[in-house]
Structure 1
Amino acid sequence: MGQRTRLILLLLSIQCLVLTGTANDDYKALISLMDELKNTPPNWVGADPCGGNWEGIVCTNSRVTSIVLTSMNLTGELSGEIQLLSELQTLDLSYNKDITGQLPNSIGNLQKLLNLNLIGCSFFGPIPDAIGNLPQLTILSLNNNSFNGPIPASIGNLSNLYWLDLAENQLSGPIPVSNGFKPGLDMLVHAKHFHLEKNKLSGEIPPQLFNSSMVLIHLILNSNDLTGSIPDTIGLVQTLQVIRFDGNSLSGPVPSSLNSLVNVGELYLSNNKLTGPIPKLNGMNLLKYMDMSNNDFDAPDIPTWFSTLQSLTTIVMENAGLQGPVPVSLFSLPNLQTVVLRNNQLNGTLNISIAYSNQLQLIDLRNNSIVSFINTAGGYNRDLILVDNPVCPKTEVTKIYCVVPQSNNSLYSTTQNNCQPVQCNLDQIPSPNCKCAYPYMGTLFFRAPSFSDLGNVSYYKALEKSLMEYSESAKLPVDSVSLSNPIRDSSMNLELSLEVFPSGQDRFNRTGISRIGFMLSNQNFKPPPDFGPFYFIADPYGHYAGGPKESKKSLSTGIIIGAAAGGAVLLLLLLLAGTYAFRQKRRAERASEQLNPFAHWDPKSSGGIPQLKGARSFSFEELKKYTNKFSEANSIGSGGYGKVYRGTLPAGQLIAIKRAQTESMQGGLEFKTEIELLSRVHHKNLVSLVGFCFDQGEQMLVYEYVPNGTLKDSLSGRSGIRLDWMRRLKVALGAARGLAYLHELANPPIIHRDIKSTNILLDERLNAKVADFGLSKPMGDGEKDHVTTQVKGTMGYLDPEYYMTQQLTEKSDVYSFGVLMLELITARMPIERGKYIVRVVRTAMDRTKVLYNLHEVLDPTIDLQTSPKSLEKIVDLALSCVEESGANRPAMGVVVKMIENIMQLAGLNPDAESASTSESYEVTKENSHHPYSNDGFEYSGVYPNLKIEPH
């Protein structure tokens, strides 16, 4: 459509709006929304949102009543002019992680708003008090943002609220309750869901929070800073089904009124400071999952009433002061799957010779005082762990139970239906129906599942069936769904990867994505009861099919109206139209640059144009502003590629910007490789790519800022952070998980090719993140075993087999990781004073002696008394990773499981978050001595002909 035609249409449309009155406010609000948000749907053209099929906009009687733009890759801020949409009932911008800024106070003027969903965005600042001015609001989902400050007491005014989700923000202060002068959450008598977990809420749980008028079913307050006792008034809310108080600092006895909550199925009281007797819960006939670990209960016997709870699937009472024998009847509960009673004072004889549940998968009794064991031939043969009990050395029978078993829960993945397997393009994925497509992907988080047997396929099949049945009933464009990789995270949520495949074509259009996203954000889909409450976080989607064509309506009606309304306002309208046209032209120019940032890419020197999946394009001027003109004060590192700068986005998010030097010969290829790979891989142990800049002759990569520097900085003492043995194991596990994801879950698999201590970064909680993918290599369809390629890497970490054959495999990364583990153990550089660390360890070790006789080699700052066995096993694992033949090295998935088992042997939970940030482990550089303090490499000649520039 030409510019002149656009002007005519605009003139006529504005004339129509002048005549029709209030609809003009809707149009002004949407234009303001377009000005503040980038990447709005391309068919937002013309001046009639209701008649022009604007994507995500629903109108009733020519008034905008719904805006649903889930997973649209929107960036920018929400305009305060949103208040002009006086008929708006639904606003859902969920899963747009680059929408930032503060939620405008004017949101409180949307008097007809029913649903407000902003899940997984990046809003920050306080939740405005005006949120309490929305009398019709039924769903308020602001979870997974960065809101801070107190929970507004005004939310108590939302008398129709059904769903309140403020989880995973930075909210602080007390839980507000009413006092006659101000409202509070106790007034939400129609709400069924309080999801307030993973914030910084403090103070006591107010007794007046609960009353008998409430219909609350989910009370989720875990992972806050709550103190005081559990109020007795909780027994007034008879409708409760899920209670999560875990991960706080609650104290005092558990109130007896808890036993009256006969509908509760999941109860989490773990990781508090509760005292007194273990609460009597025999009235909870529907209780399925119970965790009361890590409290200070009076040392009791295992309560006999446990055996009366016929619905129990899971009993977790680790470090709960239990004593006495384990009741024989405990294991006969018909639905029992897991019993974890480790770290108590249980004694006597363990008897599993009578009937036990056929669903029982795990009995963990580590670190107790059990002296004998009875089991019948052909009896219980699943996982039983008796490590660190007196019974262990006594008989041959118990020896098999005196080691921590390998995890035998195979990772579930949806199998293909009865169809012919297909080979797909590089970034397509085969669906369960054997169709290549670009699925809509993300993670389902279940807050309180009733089961603990993650290997039970029937649960996931039921969830898949439920998802498909809902999709069909709602007429969503869904061909099939796939679930995979069930894990329990550090908060004991169940995580499941979800892929939704399109029907009838290989990709979704924006309408399809928006409808599926809304289904999950708005809780329209109800999972099977075993899964409990959930939320969904979507991955960016970058493969939209073409949306509806721009409307080209006849101008005849508009011309008649325009002629009738002409005259006095024509000059003003022309002025408005000219201004609007100029702004639209500028917007179009900017949009064109954003849509094609690689218009000046040179495919000859740097390969084909990068193929991206959702990465954000920054202009040079933006990054110059965010780094204070690339000032030296913001320089945080340098390498062969160029310098790295710290920057700050307008929303306050810190970023790290890797700026290529103009003389960097490999910069173009590395730049292309890194943005292509990192734009499509997402894992908590991989550094996230925020975006890139290819502007004004610059090549820059923009990452999340990882505050605690490199692993090498910590091992050498430069960072001032002391890594104790527990944290070194956590670092090893995190790096291994990141690599295993690249090798086994990325599609196609990716070989990093440059694993080393300078490419492992530590975040604020000292979690490891694998970084620097400039040398990484994806495995194509015809390269299932290896890639024949020019040798690249870093001296000391390089796989000798790869160097000799030029055949790169995943086992090359395993070799580098083995060297990295030896570096963690010794705090020595891989090659130091002409000595190669692999050779040094092998020469010095003697497996018949304590710590394998490696005292002179090990880092003296490690407390070797904590768990010498775990250190020996890490040495064994590291040496298996650096076997000369790649075939003899374990896969990274196996390495992950072995490190997890070693951590459990050391009494550590592999999935527990560090209790403190790195700030608790600062030491002065003057007082820290590390053998790794000499930075001068003296190459040993292991690879004498290899020339590798620092990377």
Structure 2
Amino acid sequence: MGGRTGTLLPLLLLFMQYLVIPLTANDDFNGLLSLQDELKNTPNWKASADPCDNWEGIRCTNSRVTSLILTSMNLMGKLSSEISQLSELQTLDLSYNKNITGQLPSSIGNLTNLINLNLIGCSFSGSIPDTIGNLQQLITLSLNNNSFSGRIPTSIGRLSNLYWLDLAENQLDGPLPVSDGNTPGLDMLVKAKHFHLEKNKFSGKIPSELFSSNMVLIHLLLSSNFLTGNIPETLGSVTHLEVIRFDRNSLSGPVPSNLNDLVNVNELYLSNNMLTGPIPDLTGMNNLHYVDMSNNSFDEFDFPPWISSLESLTTLMMENTHCQGEVPVNLFSLTNLQTVVLRNNRLNGTLDIGTTYSNQLQLIDLQNNSIESFTTRAKGYDKKLILVENPLCENKVESYCMVPQSKNTSTFSTLPNNCEPVNCNLDQDSSPNCKCAYPYKGTLFFRAPSFSDLGNPSYYIDIQGSLMKFAQSHKLPVDSVSISNLFKDSSENLEMSIQVFPSGQDRFNRTGISNIGFVLSNQTFKPPDKFGPFYFKAMPYGPFSEEYIESKKQSSIGVIIGAAIGGTVLLLLLLLAGFYAFHQKRRAERASDQLHPFARWDPNNGSGGVPQLKGARCFSFEELKKYTNKFSEENSIGSGGYGKVYLGTLPTGQLIAIKRAQKESMQGGLEFKTEIELLSRVHHKNLVSLVGFCFDQGEQMLVYEYVPNGSLKDNLSGKSGFRLDWMRRLKIALGAARGLAYLHELANPPIIHRDIKSTNILLDEHLNAKVSDFGLSKPMGEGEKGHVSTQVKGTMGYMDPEYYMTQQLTEKSDVYSFGVVMLELITARMPIERGKYIVRVVQTAIDRTKDLYNLQEILDPTISLQTSLKGLEKFVDLAMRCVEELGGNRPAMGDVVKEIENVMHMVGLNPNAESASTSASYEDVSKGNSGHPYNNEDFKYSGSFPTSKTDHQ
């Protein structure tokens, strides 16, 4: 009996083995079919075939699916929870599919063999599931550029093998989790070299427990969050660190004295915080390339001598740091030095840059200091030198006493490789090897480059060469790589557009695209050291896009129709004759359009005739389509009820912002023409400049100069990552007031803006204010010096009550709106918030017998924490005069400018220098006069009102 059992047992095990293998492989099959059910545009997988038999995007080991890579496939839909059936999966990469939405299923935690999880640039939302902590083998976790919200799950701390953690550019909030004995935290990730957590909403202190000497972190990126408190001293124990970005938070207190123990750090960003105490001593940090400590509240200090010993330094940014004394001459002899920005400090004496200054030195910016002279040796310096707003520039018109147009861009663009450029179809591009093809496009974002000289082409040739060399060594089907559109964004990231062209054909297949996307998403490609950490954002690949597929369908339909009628020779001849006539007509129309660029502006369609332009250019639709990469989502930088705003680049390298109206929200022709005409003839540094417009192919587009730092509203709310201190807010108020005063008093004819609000005040790279959006503006013609009778238009919360009630528009209506903006500047509250109208809230809270007029409870916490708010009371007094009920009691904008200048003199600011809550009692405005405009939340109003006084009661 025992012998028979011994014989049967091996046979039974063999039978079970054959039984189990198909069952587990079948799980893979079912999991992939479930994935295909939830996601559109997956590859054309064969339902009856083995997934390991050359299915696109699939790689197998021992007949099990171990890799699923579908980058840049234009996938649409949600990720199925049945993904968990792929139990042997080691790599999952669905990056660069922006139409994958919904939550990341908690069943992802069942993929316990997963090593690489890359979901970059999708549209996942909701919380990161706690089950992520089950993926004990995980080495790479890249969830950046999504819309994840909620807190970082503490279970991530259990990923003991994690090397790369990237959660940047989401909506994550709460504190940074650390272990407490019962729950894990980020401090347990001792093998991780990369913490990329920037551009979220993290708050609270940076825990001291987060750092320890057994960590091997090299990149610590926490910029653009809401972190507060001190920088912990334990940071000094993480001696492997190479890049630190703490900028654009609300960190306070002194910088820990042991910071200079981090001798391997190359890039150090501490700017735009509220750091105090002595300037940190960085002696011994000889690997430092890039140092930015701007816009903090350090104690007054003489220029530190240790800076001149940092032999690797390329960039020194110390704007607005309370630095005083003379700039030492030996600073400029640092061999690698490229940029020195020390504006808005208290530097004095004589500037001497010596005769042995670095041959790489491109910019010395010392504007708004107290420098009295400079040596003749400095006069030989022929790069950018800015000394405006120093005593030595009084009554001088030297080039260094003027502010040059800021240019944080590079005009570099890959040139043809010794070949004759070719003309390609509109949907194709010419490669550096002069071949027409469909390139794979996207943007590389370098998070902490070690250089600031964007004009050095050798840098970009290096990275272009390294991309090509990498593609060849990994046998990717790449013919050539092109680079263009290089610029520094508002977060100090270096952006560059890349185009990767296919080899041997005019387009990539899905496998080629997936492989290229994967090496960029999984950080397999390593750029030259000078570029530092990066991430990639891909554009939808043309041949996989809906537009391309739809155009092919239309093309097929056209072929069928042509075949159906092709047999009728007579009809064909008639069609040819008709086509010829139409073609001749179109040629004549194009010639006419070139001579009369506004010929198609319909004067009988309510537009009032051809606009009278001064210096603005008329763009064609095709031109703007080219400058914006076909209005791609990658170039979209904003949106509103009117439509979208796109970032574009002119052939000259100039960045532009293109405001494209959507069909259903186009302005009337008259309003569109008004905005063009007004913007084309007003020129002031505090007004957004109009570059041109497009009124072509049924489109209405306005082309403005690009203003990089967004609206005042975004900056007050913290969305931009900047923290505006009291002095900056005064400068912004002054800039906006000057722009309005120009419109009222110097424009010919005078102009009433009619829609002044914080979203229509933009901030440039130096945080100077620029007034924008002239769509509702009204010029004051002859005989209209007192007022204009007009339909009431504007935005609730900012609208002048007198104008609302009488329909009599005056310059004082803008003054009222500006007064509301002034109150926003000190409170960071919306004009109407939870039924409370900001004017009434401030009026009720003011007590002029008390310090700061008793407004501490309603001040923006960002400025209420400052030790000195000198001039606040006078600023509030001016704001309250601007919002007087009767226009006659309000000051003119010219007087507003003078009074803000006086406030700035009080706090020791030069008004001509370039810049850079709890409830309170209130009057319930929902009661009483129902005709008052501030009963509802903020919205733009355009309509008729009764004029009889009794109709409002």
Q: 1:31 matched to which residue of 2?
A: 33
Give the alignment of 1:876-895 within 5 angstroms: none
Q: 1:683 matched to which residue of 2?
A: 635
TM-superposition CA deviations, 1:113-136 (whole Å, max 9, x none):
000000000000000010000011
Q: Secondary structure at the match of 2:156?
A: helix
> How far has the Cα of 1:53 moved from its partner?
1.8
Q: 2:739 matched to which residue of 1?
A: none
Q: Is the 8 A contact 2:93 2:117 kept in 1?
A: yes
> How far has the Cα of 1:196 moved from its partner?
0.2
> How far has the Cα of 1:340 moved from its partner?
0.4
Q: 2:914 matched to which residue of 1?
A: 907
More displaced 10-residue stretch of structure 1: 592-601 or 530-539: 592-601
Paired AA for residue 383 in structure 1: K
> How far has the Cα of 1:594 moved from its partner?
11
Q: 1:482 matched to which residue of 2?
A: 482
Give the alignment of 1:207-286 within 5 angstroms: 207-286=208-287
Q: 1:392 matched to which residue of 2?
A: 393
Q: 1:625 matched to which residue of 2?
A: none
1:405 corresponds to 2:407: no
Distance 2:896 2:343 in 1: 18
Paired AA for residue 98 in structure 2: K
Q: 2:315 matched to which residue of 1?
A: 314
Q: 2:173 matched to which residue of 1?
A: 172
> How far has the Cα of 1:686 moved from its partner?
7.0
Distance 1:48 1:766 in 2: 56
> How far has the Cα of 1:39 moved from its partner?
0.8
TM-superposition CA deviations, 1:691-717 (whole Å, max 9, x none):
xxxxxxxxxxxx9999xx99999x99x
Distance 1:315 1:323 in 2: 15
Q: Secondary structure at the match of 1:376?
A: helix
Distance 2:500 2:783 in 1: 54
Q: 1:921 matched to which residue of 2?
A: none
TM-superposition CA deviations, 1:432-466 (whole Å, max 9, x none):
11111110001000000000000011111110111
Q: 2:435 matched to which residue of 1?
A: 435
1:828 corresponds to 2:777: yes
Paired AA for residue 138 in structure 1: I
Paired AA for residue 518 in structure 1: F
Paired AA for residue 152 in structure 2: I
1:732 corresponds to 2:678: no
Q: 1:297 matched to which residue of 2?
A: 298
Q: Is the 8 A contact 1:95 1:118 kept in 2?
A: yes
Q: Would the alpha carbon gap of residues 503 and 234 (structure 1) be closer, same or farther in structure 2, given more than 3 Å must change? A: same
> How far has the Cα of 1:411 moved from its partner?
1.4
Q: Would the alpha carbon gap of residues 452 and 677 (structure 1) be closer, same or farther in structure 2, given more than 3 Å must change? A: closer
Q: Is the 8 A contact 2:100 2:122 kept in 1?
A: yes
Paired AA for residue 115 in structure 1: N
Q: Is the 8 A contact 1:489 1:495 kept in 2?
A: yes
> How far has the Cα of 1:330 moved from its partner?
1.2
Distance 2:339 2:687 in 1: 29
> How far has the Cα of 1:729 moved from its partner?
7.6
Distance 1:823 1:444 in 2: 30
Paired AA for residue 23 in structure 1: A
> How far has the Cα of 1:61 moved from its partner?
1.6
Structure 2: tracts of 5 or more residues without a match: 1-17, 563-574, 580-603, 606-620, 645-658, 673-683, 716-769, 786-809, 819-892, 902-910, 917-931, 945-953
Q: Is the 8 A contact 1:685 1:767 kept in 2?
A: no
Q: Is the 8 A contact 2:52 2:58 kept in 1?
A: no
Q: Would the alpha carbon gap of residues 866 and 365 (structure 1) be closer, same or farther in structure 2, given more than 3 Å must change? A: farther
Q: Would the alpha carbon gap of residues 908 and 54 (structure 1) be closer, same or farther in structure 2, given more than 3 Å must change? A: farther
Q: Is the 8 A contact 2:661 2:701 kept in 1?
A: no
Q: Is the 8 A contact 2:688 2:772 kept in 1?
A: no
Distance 1:267 1:392 in 2: 33
TM-superposition CA deviations, 1:133-169 (whole Å, max 9, x none):
0011000000000000000111010011000000000
Q: Secondary structure at the match of 1:315?
A: strand
> How far has the Cα of 1:834 moved from its partner?
11
TM-superposition CA deviations, 1:236-263 (whole Å, max 9, x none):
1110000000000101100011101010
Q: Would the alpha carbon gap of residues 49 and 226 (structure 1) be closer, same or farther in structure 2, given more than 3 Å must change? A: farther
Q: 1:844 matched to which residue of 2?
A: none
Q: Would the alpha carbon gap of residues 508 and 361 (structure 1) be closer, same or farther in structure 2, given more than 3 Å must change? A: same
Q: Is the 8 A contact 2:120 2:142 kept in 1?
A: yes
Q: Is the 8 A contact 2:320 2:345 kept in 1?
A: yes
Q: 1:147 matched to which residue of 2?
A: 148
> How far has the Cα of 1:73 moved from its partner?
0.2
> How far has the Cα of 1:908 moved from its partner?
4.8
Structure 1: tracts of 5 or more residues without a match: 1-15, 546-590, 608-639, 642-669, 691-702, 717-727, 744-749, 769-820, 837-854, 872-903, 910-923, 937-951
Q: Secondary structure at the match of 2:543?
A: coil
Q: 1:192 matched to which residue of 2?
A: 193
> How far has the Cα of 1:755 moved from its partner?
3.8
Q: Is the 8 A contact 1:710 1:757 kept in 2?
A: no
Q: Is the 8 A contact 1:352 1:375 kept in 2?
A: no
TM-superposition CA deviations, 1:351-392 (whole Å, max 9, x none):
123321110000011111111121328721110111111110
Q: 1:945 matched to which residue of 2?
A: none
Distance 2:183 2:395 in 1: 67
Distance 1:316 1:237 in 2: 24
Distance 2:668 2:300 in 1: 45
> How far has the Cα of 1:324 moved from its partner?
1.1
Distance 1:474 1:437 in 2: 22
> How far has the Cα of 1:764 moved from its partner?
8.6
Question: Could you state the TM-score of these two structures normalised by the residue count of structure 2?
Answer: 0.62
Q: 1:471 matched to which residue of 2?
A: 471
- Percentage of pairs with the same residue: 59
Q: 1:376 matched to which residue of 2?
A: 377
Q: Is the 8 A contact 2:103 2:124 kept in 1?
A: yes
Q: Would the alpha carbon gap of residues 389 and 679 (structure 1) be closer, same or farther in structure 2, given more than 3 Å must change? A: closer
Q: 2:7 matched to which residue of 1?
A: none
Q: 1:360 matched to which residue of 2?
A: 361
Q: Secondary structure at the match of 1:154?
A: helix
Paired AA for residue 732 in structure 1: V
Q: Is the 8 A contact 2:300 2:324 kept in 1?
A: yes
1:323 corresponds to 2:329: no
Distance 2:81 2:633 in 1: 35
Aligned length: 657
Q: Is the 8 A contact 2:118 2:140 kept in 1?
A: yes
Q: Secondary structure at the match of 1:21?
A: helix
TM-superposition CA deviations, 1:270-324 (whole Å, max 9, x none):
0001000000001111000000001010010110000000100000011111111
TM-superposition CA deviations, 1:186-235 (whole Å, max 9, x none):
11111000000000001111111111111100000000000110000011
Q: Secondary structure at the match of 1:277?
A: coil
Q: Secondary structure at the match of 1:190?
A: coil
1:97 corresponds to 2:89: no
Q: Is the 8 A contact 1:730 1:767 kept in 2?
A: no
1:40 corresponds to 2:42: yes
Q: Which has the higher contact order (CA 8 A, sep 6+)?
A: 1
TM-superposition CA deviations, 1:723-773 (whole Å, max 9, x none):
xxxxx989836x75xx79x99xxxxxx999634699x999997789xxxxx
Distance 1:933 1:80 in 2: 46
Distance 1:509 1:480 in 2: 16
Q: Would the alpha carbon gap of residues 905 and 534 (structure 1) be closer, same or farther in structure 2, given more than 3 Å must change? A: farther
> How far has the Cα of 1:347 moved from its partner?
1.0
Q: Would the alpha carbon gap of residues 475 and 907 (structure 1) be closer, same or farther in structure 2, given more than 3 Å must change? A: same
1:754 to 697, 700, 716: 700
Q: Secondary structure at the match of 1:384?
A: strand
Paired AA for residue 431 in structure 2: S
> How far has the Cα of 1:428 moved from its partner?
1.2
Give the alignment of 1:283-682 within 5 angstroms: 283-376=284-377, 379-393=380-394, 399-407=398-406, 410-543=410-543, 596=553, 682=634
Q: Secondary structure at the match of 2:518?
A: helix
Q: Is the 8 A contact 2:308 2:330 kept in 1?
A: yes
Distance 1:593 1:483 in 2: 29
Q: Would the alpha carbon gap of residues 506 and 349 (structure 1) be closer, same or farther in structure 2, given more than 3 Å must change? A: same
Q: Would the alpha carbon gap of residues 677 and 117 (structure 1) be closer, same or farther in structure 2, given more than 3 Å must change? A: closer
Q: Is the 8 A contact 1:27 1:48 kept in 2?
A: no
Q: Would the alpha carbon gap of residues 211 and 763 (structure 1) be closer, same or farther in structure 2, given more than 3 Å must change? A: closer
Distance 2:529 2:913 in 1: 36
Paired AA for residue 92 in structure 2: L
Q: Secondary structure at the match of 2:83?
A: helix
Distance 1:476 1:401 in 2: 50
Q: Would the alpha carbon gap of residues 835 and 479 (structure 1) be closer, same or farther in structure 2, given more than 3 Å must change? A: farther
Question: What do you get for the CA RMSD once the two structures are aligned?
Answer: 4.5
